[in-house]
Chains A and B, each alone.
Chain A
Amino acid sequence: MRDLELNMVFDPSEVLRPSSFQDAVETLDSSDSKIVAGNTSLYSLARKGRLENIKKLVDISKLGISYIKEAESQTSEEKKILVGAGTTFQEITSSSLINGRPEYAGLKEALNKSPPQIRNVATIGGSICSAVSFYDLPIVLFALGTTLKFFSKKEGEHLITIDSFFQNPALYGKSLLIECQFSSSPNSASSFVKLCRRMSGYAVAMTAARIKLDRTSREIDDIRLVIGAMTKTPQRLNQVEEELRHKEPSIETITRMCEKSADLVHDIIPSVHASTAYKKRVLPILLREAITTAVERATER
C-alpha cells in the first residue's frame, strides 16, 4: 500500500483588492481563487490543507460593504436593517440599531460569544459563507429570517432567503455576499442558547428562536426555531414551529412540544465528548430555554 496522504502547502501568489463587485466576481470565476474577509476561518482551512489549489485571494475590504443601517423605506410595522457583509462582529454589537432591542437580543448574545480578538476582525459575511453549523451568528441570522444579497457573474445582484442558502451553500461558492437584511416587527423578540464545554468554545449544541406574539391574543403569531452544531448545516425545526404557531405560549405547551423535537431531528452528528444520544437529550432543554426566553422578551415589550 502506498502512502499518498498529501498535505499540500497553501501558497497564494496573489492578493487582489477589487473595488467593484463585478471585478470581484470576475476573479472569483477561476477555480484557484477565494474570497478573504476577516481571515479568521480561512487561515484554519489553509492549515488543514483544504486550500491547496488556491492561488488568488480576493480581499473584499475595498468594496465598501462594511456598514449597518436602517433601510430607507420603513413601514411602521416592519423595520428593516441592512448589514454589509464585510461588517465585523464588533461593529454590529456596538450599533445603536441593535442594542437594547429585544428583537435582536439573540443576535447580540451570539455575537458576544466569540472572543474579543475575533469579534474585532471576523465579519458577518465570513461567518455565514463558512457554511458550518457550529458558528453562532448564522444560527440567529437564520432564526431572524435574514435575506441575503449576493452578487454573481451570471445574475448580478440578487436576493435569496437564508433558508435556501443553507439548503445548499455549495451553490454560492463563486458568489459574493454583499449584504444581510433582517427586519423586526412589534411584539417580536429573539434569543440564543448555546451549550459548550467551556465558556468560550464552539457549541456542542445551540438553538435560536425568533417569536412574534399576537398583539391582542398574546398567542404565538409567528415563530422560527433553528438548531446548530447538531447536524451538518444549521436546521430549522419547521414541525415544532408549526405545532406552536397560534398557541398560547404556556410553559407546559412549550415543554411538551420541545420534548418531541429530539425525534424530529435526524442525522445528529456527535462531537468530541458529546455523543448523538447526549445531543438528543439536551436539544429539548435548549429549545425550551430559547423559546421561553424569546416569549418573555416579546411579552415585556
Chain B
Amino acid sequence: MSSTSQEQNLLFKEKTLVGVPLQKVDSILKVTGKALYTKDVRLPDMLHAKIKRCPYPHARILSIDTSKAEQIPGVRAIVTGKDFPVQQNEDTPAVAFSEALYANQAVVAVAADQRRTSELALEMIFVEYEPLPWVTDPEIAMTPGKTPTKIVHPSETWYEDPNVGRHIKIRKGDASASFKECDRVIEEKYTTGMVSHFQLEPVTFVAQPDPDGGVSVWATSSGPHKTQYELSRYLGMDADKIRAKVPFLGGWFGSKEECHVAAICAKLALKADRPVKLELSREETLTATGQRHPSVITVKDGINKGGKIVARQIRAIFNGGAYSSLGNNVVINAVLGAVSVYDIPNFHMDCYRVYTNEQPGTPMRGPIGFQIAWAIECQMERIANELGMDPVEFRLKNVLKEGSENAIGELMESISHDKVLEQVTSAMKLNGQGKSSIPQDSTQENKWVRGRGVALSAKWAPGGSPHQAMVRVKESGKVEVWVDVVENGQGIYTGITQIVASEFGIPSTDILLMPLVFGSDSSMSGLSGGASASRQLVNLGNAVLEASSNAKKLMAERASKKLGVPSHDLDVREGRVFSKTDFRRSLKISELFLRAPIVGYRTVASFTEGVEFVGYGTFYFRQGKLDPETGMTIGGRISPFYMSTAQIAEVSVNVETGQVRVEKIVAAADVGVAINPDLAKGQIVGSVCMAMGAATSEELVFKDGKIINANLADYEIPSIFDVPLVIPILVENPLQNGPFGAKSAGEPSMFPTAPAIRNAIHDALGIWVNDLPITSERVLEALQKLREN
C-alpha cells in the first residue's frame, strides 16, 4: 500500500471497510444452495469413477486381471500404475505400481457410465497380492535392526537409514553442557494421535478432456495452480494444457492436497475421452488420504533457581506414513513452533519425519505446530508446577520479547506474547489462583471437579509461493478483481472484497470478485499459492493492494492532462480522480472513458483508448533456508512474521469415570488488524472447537495396520452439544507489511486449546496426561497412578 493512499485512508476514514463486520459476500449463495461445489459439477456424458484399494498395510502386487471388468457394458476406462509416468520422488503415487505401502492405497481405478457399473467392475477385477511385513510405529520404523520393513521410494534415498524421510537439526548453544549446571532438569514425553480434518465435503474431482489435448479439472483443492502444476508432474503433461478450477470448498483445513486422486480422475478422463467424476466416500477420505501426523515428542529442560529455562532439548518424531507429498516440507514447522515463543539460550532440536505403512501424513490446520505446542505447553505447566510458580508468571518470565532473536536467528517483531496472556488472564479473572477461585459443584457430591489451565503459542506465516492479482476499473467505478482466491468457508472472498473496497473507498457491492462468479481458475488469473498456511489474506491482500495501486496510477496518468495536475498528485477514491492537494480539481472515473456503439446504434459500450485501467500485483516473500548443521537461517527468515495466541480453558472432570467436560475457553489471538472482526472471531472459535475435538475425543485408531473407526459414529467429532462457551478476544498489533496491518487468523488458535484443557485437568485433579486424545480412560489411569503414589 502506498503511503499516499494511507493518508487518504485517514481522510476518508468513514469510507473504509477495514474493521467492519460485513456480512459474508457469499452467504446468500450458500444459504440458498446456489454456491457451486465440485460435487455439483455435472457434465454431459460424464462417467463415474471408483477405486479398488489394497486390503493390506504392505503388499507386493503380483498381478491385476482386468479382463472380465473390461467386458462389462458401460465400462469405459481402467487405469493401473502402468498408465502413469514412472514416479521419481517420494510423493503418493496416483495408483500403486508394483507395491502398495499402506492399507487402502489405490491399486486400480475404473470409469463407467454409472457409478454402479464402476462398483461392479471393481468386483470383477482380480488382484493378486503378496502380503509383506509392515510397521506403523515410527519409533520402531526408524530404529536400525528393529524395523520389520524398509519403505523405499523410487529414486529417493532416506535422509537417514532406516525410514527417516527428513531430519532437521537445531544447535544453538550447548544444551547438554548446560543441563549439568542447572538446578533442575525435567524431561517428559508427549504424544498425539492421528487426527482427521473431517471437513464436511469429501475429496472430489471432475475432469474433462479439452479440445486441444489438454484437460480441465474441477478440484477440491486449496489452490487451482497447485493442482495444475502437480497434475502436470503426475500426468507428464505440459502445465499450460492443464486448467484447474476450484469452486467453493466445503471445508478444507489442509485435507484436500490430494493431487494423486486428481491424477486418477484426469487419467481416466483422458483415456475414456469423456468427462469423469471421482468422489471419494467418507471412509475413503479417512483411510486413503492424508491426515494429521501422529507424533512422539520428548522435551528436556534445564531450569535455574529463578525459574528461567536455560537449556531445552527436543526430540520430535512425526509418523509420516508411507509417502511424503507435502509432509517432508511441513516438518520444518516443528522448528518454527518450538523457537517462536520462549527465549532459551541453549536450544537443541532434532526433528524427524519417519516413513511407516500408514496413509501419508498431510498438513492439517496449523500443521505440526499443533503437536509441538501440545508438547511444549504441557511441559511448561509441568515445570511451573514443580517450581511452585504461577503458570502465567513462569511463561512471562521466559517469553521472547519484541526485538529479540529466536533460536534460528529470526528477529521477533510485531509479537504480542505478553499481551495475549494478559488478555486471557484478565478475561478469566485468573489472578494466579487457578482452581481455588472457581466455584466447585457441591450438589453432586463433588464427582465433577473444576479446574483451569493456560497455554501460550505462536504461529508462523510461511511465504514460499507467490500470489498474484489483477484488478480492472470499469466506467461505472466498479472494480473487477481477478485473483485465484479459494473460499473454503473462512470468508476470504469477503476479506479481499473489503480490502479492495477500502482501497478505492467504494461500497463492497461495487467490487466484482470474479471467483465468486466463476470459481478460482488457473487459466483466468495470475499465479497463486492458494489458501494454505493462513496466508491468503496477507499474501493476496497485499497483491490486490499493489494491483489496485497500479490501476490507479494508470488512471492518474490519463487524468493528469485533463485536470492539469501532475499524476503523482492524483489519487482515485469514491469513483473520482482528484488532486490530493486540491480536492476541487477532480473528475469522475467515467470521464476517462469513451463510448461507442457495439451493436447497431442503440447499444453503446464504454472503452478506453490505449491500455485499460488494469493493474497487476505480485506478493512474493522469498524464504530463507535452515543451515543443515546448526539450523540457523541462511538467506533470510523462514517465517515473515509470527502471531501470538493464548487461551485459558475451564473444565470439569468426573473423578469416577474420567469424563472431561470443557466448560469454557477464553481465546486471545493477535490478528494484526481485523479486516472483518466477526470473521476473525469465527476463525478463533472454529479453531478452538476443532482443537477441542482433537484434545478430547478424536483419533483414527489402527488395528493390524488398518483404521477401525473410519466413520462418524466411531471417530467422534464434537457435536454442537459438546462445544463449550468460547470467548474470542482480538488483539490488534498491526503488521507493518500486512494489508491494512492485517496478520492471519485461520490457524493460530488451534495451538493452545489442547494443552490448556490438559493443564486445566491437572489443576482440577493433580494428574498429568501426556497423550492425546485425553480419553476418559487415560484420565482414570492417571488418577489411579496418582493414588498409588
Chain A residues close to B by CB (< 8 Å): 1-3, 5-9, 11, 115, 195, 197-202, 204, 271-275, 278, 281-282, 285-286
A272 to B703, alpha carbons, bound, how many Å? 10
CB contact under 8 A between A5 and B55, given known A195-B659, A199-B721, A285-B656: yes
Which of A2, A6, A202, A286 contacts B123, CB < 8 Å? A6
Is B489 at the interface (CB under 8 A from chain A)?
no
**Interface with A: B21-29, B328-336, B709-717, B757-765, which one?**
B709-717
**Residues of A contacting B708 in the complex (Cβ-Cβ under 8 angstroms):** 272
Do residues A1 and B120 form an inter-chain contact, with CB atoms below 8 A?
no
Taking Cβ atoms with an 8 Å cutoff, the residues of B that contact A are: 55, 116, 119-120, 122-123, 126-131, 656-657, 659, 696-697, 699, 701, 708-709, 713-716, 718-719, 721-722, 773, 775-777, 780
Q: Which one of A199, A273, A286 contacts B777 once the chains associate, using CB atoms below 8 Å?
A: A273
Question: B699: which of A3, A273, A275 is its contact (CB, 8 Å)?
Answer: A273
Distance in Å from the Cβ of B188 to the closest Cβ of chain A?
23
Q: Does the CB pair A278–B721 fall under 8 Å?
A: no
**Residue from the list A9, A195, A198, A271 in contact with B697, Cβ < 8 A:** A198
Contacting residues, chain A, for B696 (C-beta < 8 A): 197
Which residues of chain A are near B722, meaning CB under 8 Å? 198-200
Q: List 26 A-B contacts (CB under 8 A).
A: A1-B128, A1-B131, A3-B127, A3-B129, A7-B123, A9-B119, A9-B120, A11-B116, A195-B657, A197-B716, A197-B775, A198-B697, A198-B718, A199-B719, A200-B719, A272-B708, A272-B709, A272-B715, A273-B701, A273-B773, A273-B777, A274-B775, A278-B777, A282-B776, A285-B656, A286-B657
Residues of chain A contacted by B718 (CB below 8 angstroms): 198
Contact A197 B697 (CB under 8 A): yes
Assembly CA distance A258 to B423 (angstroms): 48
Whether the pair B719, A272 counts as a contact (CB closer than 8 A) is no
Query: Is B713 within 8 A of A202, CB to CB?
Result: yes
| C-alpha gap A274/B709 in the complex (Å) | 13
| A-B CB proximity, top 4 nearest | A199-B721, A278-B777, A272-B709, A285-B656
Give Cα distance in the complex from A2 to B659, angstroms: 45
Minimal Cβ-Cβ distance residue in A for B122? A7
Residues of chain B with a CB closer than 8 A to A274's CB: 775-777
Assembled-state Cα–Cα distance A204/B775 (Å): 12
> With the chains together, A202 CA to B123 CA distance in Å?
33
Closest-by-CB residue of B relative to A1 is: B129
The answer for the CA separation of A105 and B718 in the assembled complex, in Å, is: 27
Known A2-B128, A197-B776; further 4 A-B contacts with Cβ < 8 A: A3-B128, A9-B119, A197-B716, A197-B775
Q: Which residues of B contact A273 (CB under 8 A)?
A: 697, 699, 701, 773, 775, 777
> Which residues of A sit under 8 angstroms from B123, Cβ to Cβ?
6-8
A200 vs B718: C-alpha distance in the bound complex, in angstroms? 9
Q: Is the CB of B129 within 8 A of A198?
A: no
A276 to chain B, nearest CB (A): 11
For the complex formed, measure the closest distance between the CB of A213 and the CB atoms of chain B, giving whole angstroms.
23
Pick the contact of A275: B127, B697, B777 (CB < 8 A). Answer: B777
Nearest residue (CB) in A for B55 is A5
Contact at A9–B701, with CB atoms within 8 Å?
no
Closest beta carbon of chain B to A284's beta carbon, Å: 9
CB distance from B153 to the nearest CB of A (A): 24
Neighbouring B residues of A11 by C-beta, 8 Å: 116
Nearest-neighbour CB distance to chain B for A46, whole angstroms, equals 13
The residue on B at minimum CB distance from A284 is B656
Residue on A nearest B125 in the bound complex, by CB? A3
Give Cα distance in the complex from A2 to B63, angstroms. Answer: 10
Complex CA distance for A9 and B697, rounded to whole angstroms: 32
Asked if B714 contacts A272 (CB within 8 A), the reply is yes
Instruction: Collect the chain B residues with CB atoms within 8 Å of residue A6's CB.
Output: 123
Which residues of the partner chain B approach A9 to less than 8 Å between Cβ atoms? 116, 119-120
Min CB distance, B113 to chain A, in Å? 15
Point out the residue from A3, A5, A115, A282 that lies within 8 Å of B656, measured CB to CB. Answer: A282
Contacting pair B721 A282 (CB below 8 A): no
